[in-house]
């Protein structure tokens, strides 16, 4: 049996501020924070935040993620 998630998209197609899931963890996409490495080449420090604990993460553009179009934050 093959199970496909038809709502998966490439990370590069996720808009900034959108909530998505990757490997069972919920993230929000942010504008990439970029610095220069020791050779003077651009290096991405983070482009998503784990909503469980606030850790920063870097996703490759071709990574497949599940987007939640109508996600909302509920503060309790």
- Supply the mean pLDDT for the chain: 91
pLDDT at 69: 85
Q: What is the pTM of this model?
A: 0.84
What pLDDT, on a 0 to 100 scale, did the predictor assign at position 34? Answer: 96
User: Residue 37's pLDDT is what?
Assistant: 92
Quick: pLDDT tens for 24-45.
999 999 999 999 999 999 999 9
Q: Is 18 helix (H, G, I), strand (E, B) or coil?
A: coil
């Amino acid at each position: 049996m093959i199970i496909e998630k038809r709502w998966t998209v490439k990370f590069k197609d996720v808009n900034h501020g959108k909530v998505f899931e990757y490997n069972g963890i919920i993230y929000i996409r942010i504008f990439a924070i970029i610095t220069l490495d020791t050779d003077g080449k651009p290096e991405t420090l983070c482009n998503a935040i784990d909503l469980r604990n606030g850790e920063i993460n870097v996703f490759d553009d071709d990574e497949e993620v599940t987007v939640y179009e109508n996600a909302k934050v509920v503060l309790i």
